[in-house]
Amino acid sequence: MMQVVHSRFNALLSASVLSLVATVAWSQSLTWLGVLPGGDASYATGVSADGAVVVGSAENAAGQIRAFRWTACCRSSGGGMQDLGTLGGHESRALGVSADGSVVVGSAENAAGQMPAFRWTASGGMQNLGTLGGPESMAYGVSADGAVVVGEDRDAAGQIRAFRWTASGGMQDLGTLGGGASYAYGVSADGLVVVGSAENAAGQRPAFRWTASGGMQNLGTLGGPESMAYGVSAGGAVVVGSAENAAGQPRAFRWQNGVMQDLGTLGGHESWAYGVSADGAVVVGSAENAARQPRGFRWTASGGMQDLNITYLSLLTDGSVLTSATAISPDGRYIVGQGYNAATNRTEAFLLDTQGTPPCTLDGDLNGDRVVDDADLLILLFNFGNRCP
């Protein structure tokens, strides 16, 4: 009799798990990433391919800005927001992450109060990438495998120059478009295409696309004097950013095959595109709505510019707002950025899963007793929203 009761319980529990998996575990989700202990703000700037790692900057208890690496919490492991430290000073900022989440790049203060670029790994910590002769540099982007880092640096003459860094070649000055300054903000997945903004002979700063064979290509503007490229598709064919139009308003753009497309706004005057999916089909950024308020957006050719706050209204509670989308995973599923979390009354980094996270599967012992039984089913039931370790 006892065996029959146990079997019925097991069957009912299994059915409950399957039902939850089918109706809940695949739902879309919004995760507010919180802040560092004692801090009151955070900003996300990069996300790994699987959405399990997010990087950015956050205030600590002393009010100092620190680079962070956030990982999803699982049943038995740690997670949450990790302060990546500095190079001996007080502050740091994380601006890019490799596809697998293991390499983080940004800028960190040293003991002399300077801010050189860094490349961080769990095994090696923060590596100072140096400069081109000046006191400071900033790393904005990293290739998918973490081997190529791009950013800006002040050279010995005090000019800001775009750079491309590799372990074997060090920091390479990418030059300009004829002027004195340049800035590199994004790099393709293979590290061969770099995008940013560079000064021309007229003192204007149009967006550029750089390759070793072709050098800097001027991508033009939308009618105004300046533009900036912030992101590039995996193969380097699609570039996104912001360009001034004839009225002097910054507009999000998508560039491909020599054509710069104005992506519009959400009813206001200004917009900025910061990230793009691997295939170049999905663009994310921030745009003004009709009330001139900044709102995070996602753009596709078929759907146009969509306000994330409208598309994912059901995930926002108590007046929370997504103000900017700064990065997107290669497959377009995960979007990160910053917004106002009404529950905590502060600006926080967020992770938006636009498809839903598959639940953990019962493929072995989950509770450590070396037996696959109904206890493992219970664990699965109460942890269906977590990513598997």
pLDDT digits (tens, 9 = 90+) for 4-45: 434 433 444 344 444 443 334 458 999 999 999 999 999 999
pLDDT value for 357: 58
pLDDT band at 301; cut points 50, 70, 90: very high
Q: Which amino acid is at 328?
A: I
Selection from 61, 166, 159 nearest residue 105 by Cα: 166
Within 13 Å, how many C-alpha atoms sit on residue 207's CB side? 35
Strand 223-232 versus strand 283-289 pairing type: unpaired
Q: What does the pLDDT look like over 96-127, one tens digit per residue?
A: 999 999 999 999 999 999 999 999 999 999 99
Q: Is the dihedral of CA 38, 44, 45, 50 positive or negative?
A: positive
Separation of alpha carbons 330 and 76, rounded Å: 28
**Residue 155's pLDDT is what?**
85
User: Long-range contacts made by residues 382-387, C-beta under 8 angstroms, separation at least 24?
Assistant: 383/75, 384/17, 384/20, 384/21, 384/24, 384/25, 384/359, 384/360, 385/24, 385/25, 385/29, 385/357, 385/359, 386/72, 386/73, 386/74, 386/75, 386/360, 387/52, 387/72, 387/74, 387/357, 387/360
Q: Which two tokens stand for residue 229?
A: 């490229």
* Contact partners, residue 171, CB within 8 Å, separation at least 6: 129, 130, 131, 132, 137, 153, 163, 164, 165
Contacts within 8 Å (CB) and 24+ apart, 291-294: 291/267, 292/268, 293/268, 293/323, 294/323, 294/324
User: What pLDDT score does 381 carry?
Assistant: 43
Angle at CA 95, nearest 5°, toward 93 and 101?
Answer: 110
Residues of the chain with CATH 2.120.10.30: 29-362
> CB–CB of 42/81 below 8 Å?
yes
Average pLDDT over residues 333-354: 98
- Looking at the domain that runs over 29-362, which CATH code has it been given? 2.120.10.30
| pLDDT at residue 361 greater than cutoff 50 | no
